[in-house]
Amino acid sequence: MTFIQVYNKLLKHYGHQHWWPAETPFEMMVGAILTQNTAWTNVERAIVRLESHSCLTPQAILEAPLSELAEWLKPSGYFNIKAQRLRNYCQWYIDAGEFPRLSCIDTDALRKQLLAVNGIGPETADAILLYAFERPVFVIDAYTRRIFSRLKLLVVDAGYETLRHQFETDLQTDVAVFNEYHALIVCHAKDACKKRPDCVNCCLACICPCRM
């Protein structure tokens, strides 16, 4: 069994996911920061609150009082921490020249810059690279570890960079496939491969060594 075989099964079962759900690249970046340790529905509520206060631009986020920004982000959880992380990101984003200039930086250099921003870890950085900048970087999250460790295709406690390299090496370098694959992984983890798996309704049950 290979990564591409799993991808094809997930795609056939769930169809295209049309990710990332955002109107602009910057909105996608905000969502990637806010989705840390929370469900996407909570992030959507927080983004709606930012929009209602005309605060969905980097400049507006920096100009908003930190206490108010945190209040608007309450639905996303850890709102005080996320408010500061979002401001850190926006300050870097503006100083770096925003999307036009950042788009001209090669992927490795841009990734290093993202990881240097306080509060931006590998998963968030790679999501921004893939979905906002359309770079061929595979995003590893808890869902990926759960599904593929059950499929015996990876070691669950392997380092982030090891797993990312494994996916990027085994799959052809294709932004569209990386985009769709990550979205399908999230969908499948929520639908069937939960913490307590629903193997009866799992489209991968026939190839899963851990099926119950």
Answer for the pair 143, 105: CB distance below 8 angstroms, yes or no.
no
Answer for the pair 89, 120: CB distance below 8 angstroms, yes or no.
yes
Q: Which domains does the chain have, with CATH numbers?
A: 3-18+138-207 (1.10.1670.10), 25-132 (1.10.340.30)
pLDDT of residue 26: 98
* Rounded Cα gap, residues 63 and 65, in angstroms: 6
Residue ranges of alpha helices (H) inside the chain are 3-14, 25-34, 40-52, 58-63, 66-72, 79-95, 98-102, 107-115, 122-127, 142-150, 160-170, 175-191
Mean per-residue pLDDT, 56-64: 98
The two most distant CA atoms of the chain are separated, in Å, by 54
* pLDDT level of residue 134 (50, 70, 90 thresholds): very high
> pTM of the predicted model, to two decimals?
0.95
* Rounded Cα gap, residues 97 and 81, in angstroms: 25
* Rounded Cα gap, residues 179 and 52, in angstroms: 29
pLDDT of residue 172: 84
Which candidate, 87, 142, 146, 144, places its Cα nearest to that of 120? 87
Residue 116's SS3 state is coil
Per residue in 174-189, pLDDT (tens digit) is: 999 999 999 999 999 9
Per residue in 76-133, pLDDT (tens digit) is: 999 999 999 999 999 999 999 999 999 999 999 999 999 999 999 999 999 999 999 9
* End-to-end CA, the chain: 19
* Rounded Cα gap, residues 74 and 69, in angstroms: 9
* pLDDT level of residue 211 (50, 70, 90 thresholds): confident
